[in-house]
Structure 1
Amino acid sequence: MSPAVPAGAMRVLFVVSHSPGNWSSMVPLGWALRAFGHEVRVVCAPAQSEPVSRTGLTPVPVLEAEREDVMLRAVNCVQAQRGQWRFAEPPPHPETGVPLASADAFDAMGWYQQNWPRLAELSRRGSDAAVEFARWWRPQLVVHDLMSVEGPLIGKVLDVPALLHLWGPVAPHDGAGQGGPNPFLPIDFSQAFARHGLADLSADTYEHMINPCPPAVSAPVPVHHHPVRHVPYNGSGAMPPWRPEARDGAARPRVGVVWSTSATETFGPVSFAVPKVVEALAGLDVDVVLTLTPGDRQRVDELPPHMLALENVPLHLLLPECDVIVHHGGAGCTMTALAAGTPQLILPNGWDQELMSERVAGAGAALAVHNATADAADVRSAVTRLLGDDGHRAAAARLRREMEDLPDPVALVAALEELAAGAPLVAN
């Protein structure tokens, strides 16, 4: 018997993968559902229990899996052995995080073969626990992120609508039909879909998607489609006194610099771009604000007077006050900058960062240079172009307006109520 809920309230099960960056775009929808009196639970791994709790939502920490950084480093090692690694320094060892002596110094495929039984067992325990909880709690809707196996699985097993909440301009269909594994699908290590008598997980598994992207940069979404305005959630934090004093009392352009610790951990020290960005901006007549973790701050030398380093500042407090933002191409940075209407210089490392940066640059709101090839001169030139070109500012403002015209999460709640009640969902 499932627990009672107030009359008229839905049970909505969020299912999230193993990094806050994957599911942070879902948080405002959780808030909106709770504000309307609906019950929300978040199935997650124990490592995500505390981050989920900080959002004010209720975690159900039953998932099991290998650490995300280990899995991502293993992917990078496979790419290096296939000649698809673009950095001069080999990738880090999956387990130690220490850069390899050479691309062939580690047998990445052998590592997968050796560890597959363990990875499958972890996945089996997690997916079985998630399905068991869902059968007890009996959600009427499931909302999950792009790297969640258990979200679409629960939807199929319980025969309730499951909605993939995209985190940015990338979707499963981006990787379909290209040969080899689809990089925008999670790996079903334990063959959970087959164990439940279902067709294998593929891009065709997804029937409903929540898309927070403005149309000009959206990924292809050839399924039932719920557009929603992206409301940035970058964690909690106080409003900082972040603005450096303008020299001579004159207002100068402000450039924000954001880098991801997880990107450095998975791509290695060679990918840490902040020192070359500082070198690039040192001679420009701009104010620079860097937001870094304490560990990354220690890796940066003393800054010039016109630069200020802050630790762990939520991006939505920083970006609206910047004329340009320089970042690594993660979905959180990209989408928060789009919401702020801030032109972007994106230095992607790999994975979805490359595709998202191409789409935002193609819409005119960014310049993109791969981090592996960009030097300080490239960064300086690109920032100068962004500051001096009205076209990039106009494009960024246009995308911000497109995003503001999308239904907000509160409006989406009514559509989800209809979907849960069995009303047909019209594809947009």
Structure 2
Amino acid sequence: MRVLFTVSDWPGHWSAMVPLGWALQAAGHEVRVVCAPSQEEPLARAGLTAVPVLDGWDMAFQGRLQNYLNAGKDLWPYPEPPLHPVTGEPLADLADFDLGGWFKENVPVLSERARRSTDAAVGFARWWRPDVQVHDLVSIEGLLLGRVLGIPSAVHLWGPAGTDEHEPGLTLVPVDMSRSFERYAVGEPGFDRLTHVIDPNPAALAPALLGAERLPVRFVPYNGPGAVPGWLAELPERPRVCVVWGTSVSEMFGEVSFTVPKVVEALSDLGVEVVLTLTGADRDRMEGELPDGVRLLERVPLHLLLPHCDLVVHHGGAGCVMTALAAGVPQLALTNGVEQRLNADRIAAAGAGLGLSNAAVEVAQIRAAAERLLRDPAHRAAAERLRAENEARPAPADLVRTLEQLAARQPAAVGGAHR
């Protein structure tokens, strides 16, 4: 069986798909991943074969653009304006970026890039003739191929956000800049015609879907390659708290969102061991500022650390949320964006964590929330329940059999009129 993965330009969007790719390959199936050139190296490190033919929008730009649009709707949480969507530099005022003028000047270029991207994806798929397709939630090419190819197709969720979300400011349906759905005569882009959704969420977090069949799967964390640090086998003398801060937060929300110094200060009074996982510029910001009991790491996969922690503090990203869930660790999420807040709210509703708005949070609030999560056994018990629910779900190897059955019901076809 040939299985085509189609992914967007951000590892956090497709990392949840990696264990399924491994399972398919271990079962003897061929897997190819249609992606942008920027994802070729991360996919190779994950052991998957990339097809780097896409040329769509940069995801960091899309995130900053969404923040700019949200600021115009009073959905931006900070008193400072968001970053310039294109340059990533701070704006003094929203009026300093001429959105209409920029689009008027750049839409022809963006549309042509999008056309090349979607046409390249269709061209490769028609040549390779996959039996099944799996794509991430915001991959416009994946959404398109599911209709053009006439083969079974499934979207793979990366966390608690589903296909039927109505949070103001949350836009998950990808933009069809080249009008590819019209050009291939397959209707309008949207999630309403999805037939299968691979859902890694335990029942307590299961998001709403637009009528598609839910294919449950166990969330198996993949946070990149790495090695187990030798000190991790040593039993800590005090509770261990892991602090995770993704580089994407500063890249999309600016330096004003970098709350790690506040977190370190808040935890310093709780008698805990603190493990910071930071990379790049975020790591540089913390050099020379670490008190006793704080360890600074770089590029240690999160799934290796969290099973040995008593609490994780993070920015609310789905990768952190789901990895902590799989480890059975209580979570404190300091959120910036709408999806991050959605993730935090659903973990809190399940009793396994708490969420605070990063834009307004103070040291005392972080300290009180961390202390509550460390001392109240109900949160640990809820986190353990989520871990147990996750482990009881079908493994990726079981999902392979489901995809095999879907492929067997419908022979591969490569139709779709191209105009």
- Relative to the length of structure 2, the TM-score reads 0.94
Query: Which stretches in structure 1 are left out of the alignment for 5+ residues?
Result: 1-9, 424-428
Report if aligned partners of 2:170, 2:338 keep a CA contact under 8 Å in 1: no
Aligned equivalent of 1:404, options 388, 391, 397? 391
Q: Distance in 2 between matches of 1:420 and 1:374?
A: 50
Report if aligned partners of 2:247, 2:280 keep a CA contact under 8 Å in 1: no
Report if aligned partners of 1:244, 1:307 keep a CA contact under 8 Å in 2: no
Measured after TM superposition, the shift of residue 66 of structure 1 is 2.8
1:346 is paired with a residue whose SS is strand
Q: Distance in 2 between matches of 1:86 and 1:161?
A: 41
- Aligned partner of 1:271 in structure 2 is 257
Aligned equivalent of 1:238, options 213, 222, 227? 227
Check if 1:307 corresponds to 2:294: yes
Measured after TM superposition, the shift of residue 254 of structure 1 is 0.6
Q: How many residues align?
A: 408
Measured after TM superposition, the shift of residue 294 of structure 1 is 3.7
1:386 is paired with a residue whose SS is helix
Q: Distance in 2 between matches of 1:95 and 1:242?
A: 42
Report if aligned partners of 2:4, 2:130 keep a CA contact under 8 Å in 1: yes
Structure 1 residues 32-58: Cα deviation after superposition (integer angstroms, max 9, x where no partner): 000010000000000101111111111
- Aligned partner of 1:329 in structure 2 is 316
Check if 1:262 corresponds to 2:239: no
Check if 1:130 corresponds to 2:121: yes
- Aligned partner of 2:414 in structure 1 is none
Measured after TM superposition, the shift of residue 372 of structure 1 is 0.8
**Shift in alpha-carbon separation, 1:385–1:110, aligned structure 2, 3 A:** farther
Aligned equivalent of 1:87, options 78, 88, 94? 78
- Aligned partner of 1:47 in structure 2 is 38
1:234 maps to amino acid: N
Bigger shift: residues 321-330 or 294-303: 294-303
Check if 1:217 corresponds to 2:205: yes
1:66 maps to amino acid: W
- Relative to the length of structure 1, the TM-score reads 0.92
Q: Distance in 2 between matches of 1:244 and 1:30?
A: 30
- Aligned partner of 1:205 in structure 2 is 193
Aligned equivalent of 1:161, options 152, 169, 187? 152
Measured after TM superposition, the shift of residue 241 of structure 1 is 3.5
**Shift in alpha-carbon separation, 1:182–1:334, aligned structure 2, 3 A:** closer
2:375 maps to amino acid: G
Higher RCO (CA < 8 A, seq sep 6+): 2
Check if 1:359 corresponds to 2:346: yes
- Aligned partner of 1:142 in structure 2 is 133
Structure 1 residues 222-280: Cα deviation after superposition (integer angstroms, max 9, x where no partner): 3111100000000001111455988xxx7211110000101110111001111111111
- Aligned partner of 1:115 in structure 2 is 106
Check if 1:227 corresponds to 2:213: no
Q: Distance in 2 between matches of 1:395 and 1:406?
A: 17
- Aligned partner of 1:295 in structure 2 is 281
Percent identity of paired positions between Structure 1 and Structure 2: 55
Q: Distance in 2 between matches of 1:218 and 1:124?
A: 35
Query: Which stretches in structure 2 are left out of the alignment for 5+ residues?
Result: 411-419
Quote the RMSD (CA, aligned, Å).
1.7
